[in-house]
Amino acid sequence: MRTYGQYCSVAKALDAVGDRWTLLIVRELLLRDGCRYTDLLHGLPGIATNLLSERLRELEERGLVRRQAAPPPVATTLYHLTDSGRELDPVLRALGRWGARFMPEGGEGDSFRSHWLAFPVKEFLHDADPAAPPVFIEVRTGDEPVVIELGGGEVTTHPGSHPSPDLVLEGDAPLVLGVLSGMLRLSDARKLGLRTTGSAAVLRRVESRVPV
Amino acid sequence: MRTYGQYCSVAKALDAVGDRWTLLIVRELLLRDGCRYTDLLHGLPGIATNLLSERLRELEERGLVRRQAAPPPVATTLYHLTDSGRELDPVLRALGRWGARFMPEGGEGDSFRSHWLAFPVKEFLHDADPAAPPVFIEVRTGDEPVVIELGGGEVTTHPGSHPSPDLVLEGDAPLVLGVLSGMLRLSDARKLGLRTTGSAAVLRRVESRVPV
DNA sequence: CGGCATCCTCTTTGATACTG
DNA sequence: CAGTATCAAAGAGGATGCCG
């Protein structure tokens, strides 16, 4: 194990999770705890399979990940974060907050997975009308549809489709995130290729607190 | 530039600062903004000089670091963080907080620089008696002495010695940090090799909030 | 198919030496 | 002091093979 050899808690943290891909594996497990090797592979486009297995072994040794042999009918091993691993949440949130500044430009040729939406949605979006009945926005981008629910002051995401969404947003992830974050006007997003169905008015209920 | 190619702000952040040594360079500049190449080299024991120069160039390209040609009598280039770079502070603090769990065991053969103390002192220690007149603890560990001042509810560090410190702690960094954080009793630390001069009673004024 | 292990090539790193 | 240059070792990325 390669270590910085510095008696400093930042260096110690980076000894444990500073290797390439490691924090992204933790991101996946924070988003979807208890998932399979293949799910991780799918959620981490670009990773080599040998690296994933190696990192998982290291994370297990360090006590951040626990593997659980799921009984039939699943009959496969599920990867979970330990308490220690889950406590990396503030680190990931701080990183995501800081990295948000690169999102407006980037996106050309980047891969995207729709479950990644859960992070920015929870972190930056708020329900501006908590008393109103919930509304549902179905987002079709990335690998599978996802539903954003606004209700009771909370904004949550759910994988899958909604039988009767109030609004459907379909198009590239940067367009969808631009509209949700309020950094892109819907009319401009439409010109850039975003397709919408339903009531665009529900977007006014999305309160965005993206850091400047 | 190697990138994850993922449209996710965490991945984008790691594209920018996820390389080996990069966040430790930012740590150094957060602790001592405007320092020289040699200061960085000294504050980052173990780094290869070519890596430091390469990382500094990358950080400058990404707009996190600014190099400034200092006029005589300094007559050298000084490295500063930009606003964008300084905004990594919450990331470093989250990492340091999480990594603190590795500090009690680690330390064998690790290098230590006394200016690193500023981070944990600011993050975890508080002055339990804000109304009392300030007291000064001189710590002699690592490369140079450092003075910890308790006063007005704040705990601050200052490089160098104090003419008449209330207490002097001298010995290995883990012992000093153990005593300051309250995880090690002074009597035990003394048995392990910590040398003290002055009034040990001032330690009762140190209120430690180390996360469990 | 899920969950890796192996092999091979290419890039990054670390240690050291050297220069303006 | 502030870096470049050189080179061996380690790590990453990609393809493929194996096994229940």
- Whether residue B44 is contained in a domain is answered as yes
B102 within some domain: no
**pLDDT at A93 > cutoff 70:** yes
Count of structural domains, chain B: 2
Domain boundary among B52, B87, B122: B87
**Same domain as B126, residue B67:** no
Nearest residue of chain A to residue B101 (CA atoms): A9
Q: Is the pLDDT of residue A210 over 90?
A: no
* Backbone torsions φ then ψ of B153, nearest 5 degrees: 85, -10
Distance, CA of A62 to CA of A54 (rounded, Å): 13
- The reply to whether A22 falls in a domain is yes
| pLDDT at residue B17 tops 90 | yes
In a domain, residue A99? The reply is no
Of A87, A115, A150, the one marking the end of a domain is A87
| Token output for A212 | 């400047």
Residue B113 shares a structural domain with residue B192 = yes
Residue-wise pLDDT for A150-169, tens only, equals 999 999 999 999 999 999 99
- Flag whether pLDDT at A30 surpasses 70: yes
CA closest to C1' of C6 belongs to A50
Who's near B127: CB < 8 A, 6+ residues apart? Answer: B150, B151, B152, B153, B154, B155, B205, B206, B207
B46 C-beta less than 7 Å away from strand C: yes
Reading the block at residue A45, the tokens are 């486009």
Q: What distance, in Å, lies between the first and last C-alpha atoms of chain B?
A: 39
Q: Same structural domain for residues B144 and B191?
A: yes
Is residue B197 scored above 70 in pLDDT?
yes
Residue B98 lies in a domain: no
The predicted structure's pLDDT at residue B106: 72
Nearest to A161 by CA among A177, A145, A182, A142: A145
Q: Given pLDDT bands bounded at 50, 70 and 90, which one contains residue A123?
A: very high
Nearest CA in chain A to B46: A4
HSE, CB side, 13 Å, CA atoms: give it for residue A149: 13
Q: Tell me: the pLDDT tens digits for B25-45?
A: 999 999 999 999 999 999 999
Residue A137 pLDDT more than 90? yes
CA of B91 to C1' of C4 (A): 34
Q: For the segment B134-187, what is each residue's pLDDT rounded down to a tens digit?
A: 999 999 998 999 999 999 999 999 999 999 999 999 999 999 999 999 999 999
CATH label of the domain that carries residue A34: 1.10.10.10
CATH no. for residue A154?
3.30.1050.10
Instruction: Write down the pLDDT at residue A1.
Output: 80
Tell me which chain B residues have a C-beta less than 8 angstroms from the C-beta of A8: 27, 96, 99, 112, 116, 119
Tell me the mean pLDDT in the region B66-93: 91
Q: How far apart are CA A97 and CA A105, in angstroms?
A: 16
- State the pLDDT at residue A74: 65
Do B204 and B113 share a domain, yes or no?
yes
Residues B83 and B129 in one domain: no
**Measured distance CA(B73)–CA(A8) in Å, rounded:** 33
Residues B113 and B201 in one domain: yes
Q: What is the pLDDT of residue B191?
A: 97
Q: What digits encode the pLDDT tens for the residues A37-54?
A: 999 999 999 999 999 999
Identify the pLDDT of residue B202. 95
- How far off is chain A from B133, nearest CA to CA, in Å? 30
Among A14-18, A62-66, B72-76, B189-193, name the one with the lowest average pLDDT.
B72-76
Q: In which residue are the tokens 């469990």 written?
A: B212
Q: Is residue A93 part of a domain?
A: no
Q: How far apart are CA A183 and CA A104, in angstroms?
A: 8
Q: Is the CB of B10 under 7 A from strand C?
A: no
The answer to whether B55 contacts chain A (CB < 8 Å) is no
A83 and A114 share one domain: no
Taking CB atoms and an 8 Å limit, are B23 and A10 in contact across chains?
Answer: yes
pLDDT at B75 over 90: no
Contact call for residues B64 and B17 (beta carbons, < 8 A): yes
Mean pLDDT (chain A) is 94
Within 13 Å, how many C-alpha atoms sit on residue A124's CB side?
26
| A10 vs B9, B24, B90: nearest CB | B24
Q: What is the CA radius of gyration of chain A?
A: 19
Interface of A with B in 181-210 (CB under 8 A): none
Q: What angle do CA B70, B75, B78 make, to 5 degrees?
A: 40
The pLDDT value given to residue A212:
66
What pLDDT score was predicted for residue B97?
A: 97
Q: Which residues lie below 8 Å from residue B33, measured CB to CB, with a gap of 6+?
A: B80, B81, B86
H/E stretch holding B167 reads strand B167-170
Q: Which residues contact A55 (CB under 8 A, 6 or more apart)?
A: A19, A21, A22, A25
Estimate in Å the CA B40 to C1' D2 gap, whole number.
11
Q: Do B13 and A103 touch (CB under 8 A)?
A: no
Confidence band, pLDDT 50/70/90 cuts, at residue A72: low
A128 and A51 co-located in one domain: no
Interface mutation target, options B3, B9, B114, B125, chain A, most CBs of A under 10 Å: B9
Are B98 and A106 a contacting pair at CB < 8 A?
A: no
Identify whether residues A127 and A69 lie together within a single domain.
Answer: no
Please say which residue of A58, A87, A116 terminates a domain.
A87
Q: What angle do CA B62, B63, B65 make, to 5 degrees?
A: 110
pLDDT computed for residue B211 by the predictor: 74
CB proximity B69 to A under 8 Å: no
Residue A61 predicted with pLDDT over 80: yes
Q: Is residue B2 part of a domain?
A: no
Please report the pLDDT score of residue A105 as a whole number. Answer: 82
Strand C close to B50 by CB, under 7 A: yes
Kindly state whether residues A157 and A65 are assigned to the same domain: no
Is the CB of B48 inside 8 Å of chain A's CB atoms?
Answer: no
Residue B73 predicted with pLDDT over 80: no
Residue A73, pLDDT > 80, answer no
Report the residue from B6, B9, B174 with minimal CB separation from A120.
Answer: B9
Cβ B75 to strand C below 7 Å: no
Cα separation, A59 vs A71, in Å, equals: 23
Are A74 and A113 members of one domain? no
What domain range is B143 assigned to? 107-208
What are the residues facing A163 on neighbouring strands?
A: none
B57 and B136 housed in the same domain? no
**Does residue A144 sit within a domain?**
yes
B151 — contact with chain A (CB < 8 Å)? no
